[in-house]
Structure 1
Amino acid sequence: MIRLVVALLLTLALTPAQALETSAGSVNVTRMVSGLQEPWALGFLPGGGMLITERGGRLLHVADGAAREISGLPEVATVGQGGLLDLLIPRDFVQDRTLFFTFSKPQSGGAGTAIYRATLDPGADRLTDGQVIFEMQPGSSGGRHFGSRIVEGTDGYLYATIGERGDRPSAQDLSRENGSVIRIARDGSVPGDNPFIDRDGAQSEIWSYGHRNPQGAALDADGNLWVNEHGARGGDEVNRVRRGANYGWPVISYGTHYSGAKIGVGTHKEGMEQPAHYWDPSIAPSGMMIYTGEMFSDWHGDMFVGSLKFDMISRLTRSEAGEDVTEAERLSSPETARVRDIMEGPDGAIWFLSVGRGAAYRMTPD
């Protein structure tokens, strides 16, 4: 039986929107769904409705004034920062209703980031034909740093972020997927032009490495992949991800260990990439979106990153060459409490998930 979880969408849309003053003028922040339990990701279905994941293991379909739980997910290791994490609704969803999810999968020795592919049935109440198409090896104990955003590239392949699971040296070890961005085909196979496919001992799925805990990822208008990632004490980063590149963790960083001790050799080393932007102090960045709509024309092409620490959304601008990124504004209101995900809606509105409020919000011009 389908379990009714919330019936809020239409009702809450009628409640007064909260005003937020921004560089683009006053915007309305309207609560659209409430009663969420640690929401992690949202996505919009063609033709209306949306999906929301909760870290505890629930997948919700929100449409027609109600949110219903969808069955058919795999067993999830809800431990520490792990659980049911990101979701991807691919561009050709209408053809075969395929969805992708990232989650922490129970493994021998602990848990690891994995990718699950399944079909959403026409009633949108259950998943069928589900299978795990990737899981990091080997499993790791502890509940830290699963990473875990997934993006469909312009080449049709899947790019997913994996944290180093709290094992710092592993981010420089190509024999492990810890601390990497991986690239796989939709069936889990490895594309033949992946950078390390012919290197002995390397994990062939790896696209880039030297990451700490990347929890945000998005494509820009040119199809370039960007990620944001948690540093330690300071040194949260925004990086443009390039094929085969090494992003330095834990050899270089703009932060320090929580003890205050120096990380690695400092901020630079030959052969390791510099961040396009870094935050110090850390903001604990999470979901990431690059705006392409017209509803907020002044923000076209800007990056938006949710903060789990400072209860705000960071808006960042890029240089004409697109390589240098600067924080331009912080959007903060009572609604932006621990922003976990942020997405552009089909009409150009900006949606975000607040862990602190247990709710999904929609931003529109006043």
Structure 2
Amino acid sequence: MGGAVAAALMLSTSMVAAQVTPVEIESGDNSLFSSRVLTTGLSNPWAMRWGPDDMIWLTERTSGEVTRVDPTTGAQQLLLTLEDVYTGPQHEGLLGMALHPELLEGTGNDYVYIGYTINNGTAEEPDPSAQIVRYTYDESLQQLVEPTILIEGMPAWNDHNAGRVVFGPDDKLYYSIGEQGHNFGRNLRLPNLAQALPTQDEVDSADWHTYSGKILRLNLDGSIPEDNPEIDGVRSHILSYGHRNPQGIDFGPDGTLYETEHGPASGDELNIIEPGGNYGWPNVSGYIDDQAYTYINWSEAPEDVDQNTDPLPESVPQFEESEFEGDMIDPLAAYWVVEDDYPIGEICGYICDPTIAPSSVHYYDAGEDGITEWDNSLLIPTLKHGTLYVQALSEDGTEADGLPTAWLSTQNRYRDVIVSPDGRTVFIATDAFGSAAQKFGEGLNTSVLHNPGSILMFTYGEEGGGLGGVVEGNDFNASPQAEAGPAEFEDPNTGNEPAPAEDDSVDEAAATGITSESDVAEVAALGAPKFAATCASCHGAGGQGGAGAVLAGNGELADAGFVAETLIHGFGYMPAFGNQLSDEDIAQIGTYIRNSWGNDFGILTTEEVEAAR
């Protein structure tokens, strides 16, 4: 944790590149807001709540801490440090939090509800699960005490754990669970259970494994409400199903439950949650339009078929969206709908893919003195774009009113948003690390965040604004790298070429291709400057780690295929570089990291890189 600072925001006032979207998005007038950094040094803040003490209560995912922040000075006070939290690089840790509406009102309901992951296995063979725990706030000690587990044994893994906790207007708890990234990336061969529903025997025995990809509704003691929907003849905690990674849920003033969830490479969704509703995943992404998505069930595919095989054989189960026979509820909006020929993955990797990465959602009513431009809208913070999208709603709140407007853009990853009770000051929490759209210079993606692990503060109607929004013409056809990717290696942060090699023999090694007979030292020498330009900002110049994994003395680098696939396709927060780096570039960087800092694993060949593509 860190103290408050009077730091200046790195504001996007003179951008020549911004987030890439397939449609033109209007920018709001950010000069209507003053802006400053409220506090820094937070360990991946994940959920914020405005407390009855007029303080910001928040969870810190990686440190497992609940912290209270003064919304004026930024001073931090630690309320709880979890001893049993299991934290990973991306989705595991202390996640959502809800405050009982009678907290500090003298009724005895001084309760705080948190959701987090624990490890039931070992460090070498983790077996994570999720649980919701109720704590009591002791006002005299100013600490959270007396933990009571409300529900445990819920699905968790190394991806897509969702984790949002909301206290509903019906005095129920709502909790979102992702589908653990199954059938995707590193979890490609694991079955996706977003469409699976529990049997009565499983509910009776507290077997919650089918809660993957669901939104739950619980009594305050963790039990199943009697008025929960009965789905396929079984009543459980499940309110809705068919979700991918629903990190945002929030109630409107009339009790409408809004939800945002991450799509795959297109089609992030904004939904209204209906009891018993099926939202389609993994069979459908966004709308049923058979565009830019096909459900490929890798859990039932032959083991000898590689995911990069093109075309895939008929032995791999493949389904168009229109083949889905379920009764699906359409989203209010999808960010974004594109056609099959959209160059997904080809512009700047996943940062430029047609999604926004919605990390939360917050209903906003301007009232008499609030932000009139945002009245009756949903505030959607985004990870990739470092932008607050403001989605206007129809008068009755049941439809999205046009495209969202982009506000308060900075070079950060926006994790959560809250608004002060007077409706005029907006607080946005930022991730401590990760990749985002580059807002300055000629690049399109970057791992350099300007305000990592912070709360940014924007006040409406005060002097000191001047924030630039999204640049005009932010579609991929107008972007600097849209016509073709770089022919030679470029630093994704700057677009600049690395320094040329000093030794002619090194150039010759590159020209002849990299094989198992190539000289390790020569190939590693080629990779060194490319690693420094591309990878060192996250992994450290000495492979010591930081925002990225520790590479020094890392036994996983012995697997040449793993190294090649990670560089090409990305892993967790690490972006994919396959569209920016040639096979030779990747072989050189891979050889460098496999033979530096105590590693001694030999050549990564261009043939191995080609196979990983």
Structure 2-normalised TM-score? Answer: 0.54
2:194 matched residue in structure 1 = 171
Q: Where is the strand percentage greater, Structure 1 or Structure 2?
A: 1
1:78 matched residue in structure 2 = 87
Paired letter, 2:383: L
2:487 matched residue in structure 1 = none
The answer as to 2:279 corresponding to 1:247 is yes
Q: More displaced, 97-106 or 233-242?
A: 97-106
1:359 matched residue in structure 2 = 454
**Matched residue of 1:213: which SS?**
coil
**Contact residue 251 and residue 263 of structure 1 kept, 8 A:** no
Mapping 1:296-311, distance limit 5 Å: 296-311=371-386
Following the alignment from structure 2 to structure 1, what is the Cα–Cα distance between the partners of residues 318 and 220? 37
Residue-pair matches, total: 354
1:182 matched residue in structure 2 = 216
Mapping 1:106-145, distance limit 5 Å: 106-107=119-120, 110-123=127-140, 125-137=142-154, 139-140=155-156, 142-145=157-160
2:421 matched residue in structure 1 = 346
Distance 1:236-1:124 versus aligned 2 partners, 3 A rule: farther
Following the alignment from structure 1 to structure 2, what is the Cα–Cα distance between the partners of residues 34 and 26? 24
Paired letter, 1:272: M
Deviation digits for residues 8-27 of structure 1, max 9, x if unmatched?
A: 1xx539x7996988247521
Q: More displaced, 337-346 or 24-33?
A: 24-33
Q: More displaced, 68-77 or 89-98?
A: 68-77
Mapping 1:30-45, distance limit 5 Å: 30-45=36-51
1:199 matched residue in structure 2 = 233
Paired letter, 2:331: P
Specify the structure having the higher radius of gyration (Cα). 2
Paired letter, 1:12: A
**Contact residue 19 and residue 26 of structure 1 kept, 8 A:** no
2:116 matched residue in structure 1 = 103
**Contact residue 224 and residue 237 of structure 2 kept, 8 A:** yes
Paired letter, 1:173: A
**What is the CA-CA distance between 1:113 and the residue it aligns to?**
2.7
**Contact residue 30 and residue 407 of structure 2 kept, 8 A:** no
1:59 matched residue in structure 2 = 66
Paired letter, 1:52: L
Distance 1:17-1:110 versus aligned 2 partners, 3 A rule: closer
2:177 matched residue in structure 1 = 162
Distance 1:47-1:59 versus aligned 2 partners, 3 A rule: closer
**What is the CA-CA distance between 1:103 and the residue it aligns to?**
1.0
**What is the CA-CA distance between 1:7 and the residue it aligns to?**
3.1
Paired letter, 2:276: G
For 2:329, which of 273, 296, 305 is the aligned residue?
273
Distance 1:23-1:12 versus aligned 2 partners, 3 A rule: same
Following the alignment from structure 1 to structure 2, what is the Cα–Cα distance between the partners of residues 191 and 177? 16
1:330 matched residue in structure 2 = 406
Distance 1:86-1:27 versus aligned 2 partners, 3 A rule: same
Deviation digits for residues 298-323 of structure 1, max 9, x if unmatched?
A: 31211111111112111101123433
**Contact residue 100 and residue 115 of structure 1 kept, 8 A:** yes
2:513 matched residue in structure 1 = none
**Matched residue of 1:298: which SS?**
helix
Deviation digits for residues 126-155 of structure 1, max 9, x if unmatched?
A: 221112212344x45x41010111112111
**Matched residue of 2:150: which SS?**
strand
Following the alignment from structure 2 to structure 1, what is the Cα–Cα distance between the partners of residues 178 and 420? 28
**What is the CA-CA distance between 1:105 and the residue it aligns to?**
2.5
Structure 1-normalised TM-score? Answer: 0.88
Paired letter, 1:350: V
**What is the CA-CA distance between 1:31 and the residue it aligns to?**
1.3
Following the alignment from structure 1 to structure 2, what is the Cα–Cα distance between the partners of residues 344 and 221? 15
* Unmatched tracts of structure 1, length 5 or more: none
**What is the CA-CA distance between 1:93 and the residue it aligns to?**
1.2
For 1:226, which of 258, 264, 268 is the aligned residue?
258
For 1:288, which of 339, 361, 367 is the aligned residue?
361
Q: Where is the helix percentage greater, Structure 1 or Structure 2?
A: 2
Paired letter, 2:114: F
**What is the CA-CA distance between 1:97 and the residue it aligns to?**
1.7
* Unmatched tracts of structure 2, length 5 or more: 14-26, 184-191, 199-209, 287-291, 295-306, 337-353, 432-448, 463-613
2:99 matched residue in structure 1 = 89
**Matched residue of 2:80: which SS?**
coil
1:147 matched residue in structure 2 = 162
Paired letter, 1:77: Y
**Contact residue 118 and residue 128 of structure 2 kept, 8 A:** yes
Paired letter, 2:3: A
**What is the CA-CA distance between 1:194 and the residue it aligns to?**
0.7
Following the alignment from structure 1 to structure 2, what is the Cα–Cα distance between the partners of residues 346 and 125? 23
**Contact residue 92 and residue 161 of structure 2 kept, 8 A:** yes
**Matched residue of 2:224: which SS?**
coil
**What is the CA-CA distance between 1:242 and the residue it aligns to?**
0.4
